[in-house]
Amino acid sequence: MKYIASINRLMLIAGLLASSLMVGSCSDDDEMVFEGTPEISVTKAGNVVDAIDFGSYSESVMLTLESNAPWTISCSDNSGWLQLSNISGDPTTGVNKKPRYIKLSVSPIGESDTRTCTVTFSAAGAVRNITVTQRGVNESVWENSFAANRNMGVGINLYNTLDAVGDWFDPDDIVACETCWGQPLATQGWFDAVAASGFRAVRVPVTWWLHMDENDVVKEPWMNRVEEVVNYALNAGLYCILNVHHDTGDGGWLCADKANIETISARYVKLWTQIANRFNKYDHKLLFEGYNEMLDEKNSWVEPSADGYEALNMIAQTFVNTVRATGGNNEHRNLIVNTYGGGGSATRLNNMAIPKDQVPGHLLVQVHNYTPARFSNLDGSLNDLDDKDMPAWSKEFEKELGDELELLIAFSNKHGIPVVIGECGAYDRIPDAEKAKYGEFISTYSHGRASVSVFFWGQLIDRTNYNELYPLFIDGLLKGLNN
């Protein structure tokens, strides 16, 4: 009897304890009891998201979750094709609390039928639903930005060619203009050689203002030549990035100048409307890059004027709106916007606003990276040295470059957007074996952690005889395609 009485007393104590702790426990429907009004928000790159549309490849999207109550995540399809990085957590608001980043990842779908599910974010009764769709290969109407970035992987620039500017030649003389910076005319043979070496993409920088009439209409001979060169790349099976290049930068008309943004934007809209209409018929292997290294009205390479970042973000949004407005294939073409001056510092990345787009998953952000400056000779420190004194690739160089690549990885994951390193460099007099170590480092560093592609700025394939100039370096860069 004493034994039974003891059990009863223990049960009574347990019941009272459970009642006193009710606020921190789960109710019958597995929801936390919460006092107050529960709130939960789920955003992607700062924008509320209701649907995510994946392509047929393996890829991921990073979402930001904020809630004042304990939260859970569930999926209507538990077959495993959609993976969630987290399924529950504590409130994210309050003292020393931070938003929670949730990664949604999908496995390749192949030629299977489109699959879809609902992901439900719950917090004490507050609910946000997101529809997730992944299309099979046969149903995908257009490759999204993650797939494009992965498939480009490692590319090179057709540099100092269609992007040349100067006042010592007739801009209407196509040959003189294209060769004035020391490069021969672009040829189909060179693009074929680039593809044969293993590269998957070529960035084609183009300067337009020299070839526009008094009404800002691009002259037909120049537009024809640009299209001819773009076709060289596509005929070789390469991806092609087409941009607006030295219209920006020191002395360019396209600048982050908010005081004159209306005049600049009007001219910019007219230019990109012409480009977008001319190339509308091309498929997903042609990407548009809105502008190169845009500076403010003072041509500042350090920090822009007070409203310089805002002006650049306005122009980036105008680029996306203008291309989308031309319809057709341009409704879902992958578009690239650059940071201020193409910089990849924390300040430049933090001040970059991802444009709003009418279609999800078709934007990329580009930066340029010539780190370490002593290895790329950006600082000119190698000019007077003998070949035997060229620097070797080192742990110190790896640390310097790695720190900057970490910023790109964090940015890509935070905003759920691919990053293109549109330009990078290694001094040509540095031994091939040392450049190869650099090439492998920059092209493989982000693998498995974020979507980052790499484009080299410099001569790797001879423009005349199409031979590889630095075979070991090329092999090092292309390691980025094999991991």
Task: State the Cα–Cα distance between residues 248 and 341, nearest whole angstrom.
Answer: 9
**Which residue is catalytic, options 59, 143, 289, 293?**
293
DSSP 47-102: EE-SEEEE-SS-EEEEEEEEESS-EEEEES--SSSEEES-SEE----STT---EEE
Whether 400 is catalytic is no
List the structure tokens of 370: 């010539």
Q: What are phi and psi of 412, to 5 degrees?
A: -60, -45
Whether 423 is catalytic is yes
Closest CA to 90 of 68, 108, 122: 68
Contacts of 225 (CB under 8 A, 6+ apart): 162, 174, 178
Identity at 171, one-letter amino acid code = P
**Which residue is catalytic, options 66, 423, 434, 440?**
423
List the structure tokens of 198: 């293993």
Q: What are phi and psi of 191, to 5 degrees?
A: -65, -40
DSSP 277-321: HHTTT--TTEEEE--SS--BTT--SSS--TTHHHHHHHHHHHHHH
Q: Could you count the other beta carbons within 10 Å of the beta carbon of residue 388? A: 6
Task: State the Cα–Cα distance between residues 259 and 264, nearest whole angstrom.
Answer: 10
List the structure tokens of 312: 């650049």
Q: Could you count the other beta carbons within 10 Å of the beta carbon of residue 151? A: 16
Q: Are 64 and 44 in contact (CB under 8 A)?
A: yes
Residue matched to tokens 């560093």: 445
Task: State the Cα–Cα distance between residues 101 and 66, nearest whole angstrom.
Answer: 9
Q: Is 339 helix (H, G, I), strand (E, B) or coil?
A: coil
List the structure tokens of 443: 């092209």
Q: Are 427 and 390 in contact (CB under 8 A)?
A: yes
| CA of residue 110 relative to chain centroid, distance | 24
Task: State the Cα–Cα distance between residues 231 and 227, nearest whole angstrom.
Answer: 6
Q: Which residues are catalytic?
A: 293, 423
